[in-house]
Structure 1
Amino acid sequence: MNFTSSRPEDLLFDAARRGDVATLQALLQQGVDVNAQDGRGFTALILAAYDGHLDATRLLLEAGANPNVHDASGNTALMGVSFKGYPEIAQLLIQHGADLDARNGNNGTALMFATLFGRHNIVPILLQAGADTTLRDVRGLSARDLAIQQGNEEALKLLGEE
């Protein structure tokens, strides 16, 4: 498969959004940069992970995608799946070296996202992998503080706080 687009990266981003593994493979074989970023700083990995495409995420990671690239807001793929609640993808990203305590533009972390949005299937994964529960965002709030603000008793239990 030969691609004549002046921006084959755009095809990569589109395939990642759709979870189109065959097209991703073909583009990568043609030499498209697996870590290319679009105008918002999204990589194919960030897009595939955020949209819940496990096989596409795996392929991109195996092809050398960096799980610690930040988008223009400072968010990583792990933050995206912590927001959306995809445990298998979170585990895969962690296995491939995702920074558990990466900070976005608001100093938010994946654990804060999971806590804030009630992703109780993600919190234990992050904690078991060693996420720091003491980090604070720009407002000075920790994951525990966010759980309290939300009245999220389940998250408090998961965080070891009752």
Structure 2
Amino acid sequence: MSASYPGAVNEDTRTQPTSPEDPVSTEDEAVIALAHSLLDAARTGDAAALLSLVDQGAPVDLRDGAGNSPLMLAAYHGHAELVRELAARGADVDLVNDRGQSPLAGVAFKGFTDVAEVLLEAGADPALGTPSALDTAVYFERAEMVALIEARRA
């Protein structure tokens, strides 16, 4: 499967280096580093680090430069229990990224039915996004994912 498919999540959450004309304060650098650690923890499934930051007040729906939230990154990388915990802490299960992709569509692209079940239980909309989760599952011939989505829609 090609990562250029519209269902692929952009994995580059690193900010571009600043120019000398665009100074960044030490406080800004600390905030940026904290955001990167939060997003990296979501991607790697480091629930202890990520949930601790969220529980201390970090925004659960923080977004990277491509509009991906921690829940999107955790879902896309197959971390079902982390997705469950983020949703329980108020993460928006339908927050689309800048390309119009929903977490459920990303999961359909990757084929993680366990994560899809968590998202659907949390109320994710399978018709949301471009392409939708259902369209993505059909396109990639993920019969189990299609059946799961269809069962929730019935």
TM-score interval for Structure 1 and Structure 2 normalised by the shorter chain:
0.7 to 0.9
1:146 corresponds to:
none
1:126 corresponds to:
149
Confirm whether residue 33 of structure 1 aligns to residue 59 of structure 2. Answer: yes
User: Gapped runs of 5+ residues in structure 2?
Assistant: 1-28
What's the offset of the Cα at 1:5? 2.6
Q: CA RMSD in A?
A: 1.4
Letter in 2 for 1:122: M
Among residues 100, 109, 133, which one is paired with 1:83 in the alignment? 109
- Deviation per CA, 1:95-132, whole angstroms, max 9, x where unpaired? 1111121132xxx211110011121220101001118x
2:74 corresponds to:
48
What's the offset of the Cα at 1:16? 0.4
Among residues 103, 107, 118, which one is paired with 2:129 in the alignment? 103
TM-score by length of 2: 0.77
Q: CA separation in 2, counterparts of 1:33 and 1:60? A: 11
What's the offset of the Cα at 1:55? 1.6
1:141 corresponds to:
none
Q: CA separation in 2, counterparts of 1:29 and 1:110? A: 30
Q: Secondary structure at the match of 2:144?
A: coil
Distance change >3 Å, CA 95–CA 66, structure 1 → 2: same
Q: How many residues align?
A: 125
Letter in 2 for 1:34: V
User: Gapped runs of 5+ residues in structure 1?
Assistant: 132-162
Q: CA separation in 2, counterparts of 1:93 and 1:63? A: 13
TM-score by length of 1: 0.73
Q: CA separation in 2, counterparts of 1:9 and 1:61? A: 19
Q: CA separation in 1, counterparts of 2:44 and 2:118? A: 19
- Deviation per CA, 1:35-90, whole angstroms, max 9, x where unpaired? 01111000000000000011211111111100111101100100000111111111
Higher relative contact order (CA 8 A, sep 6+): 2
Confirm whether residue 13 of structure 1 aligns to residue 39 of structure 2. Answer: yes
Confirm whether residue 65 of structure 1 aligns to residue 91 of structure 2. Answer: yes
Letter in 2 for 1:125: L
- Deviation per CA, 1:3-46, whole angstroms, max 9, x where unpaired? x9322222111000000010012111221000011110000000
- Deviation per CA, 1:113-162, whole angstroms, max 9, x where unpaired? 0011121220101001118xxxxxxxxxxxxxxxxxxxxxxxxxxxxxxx
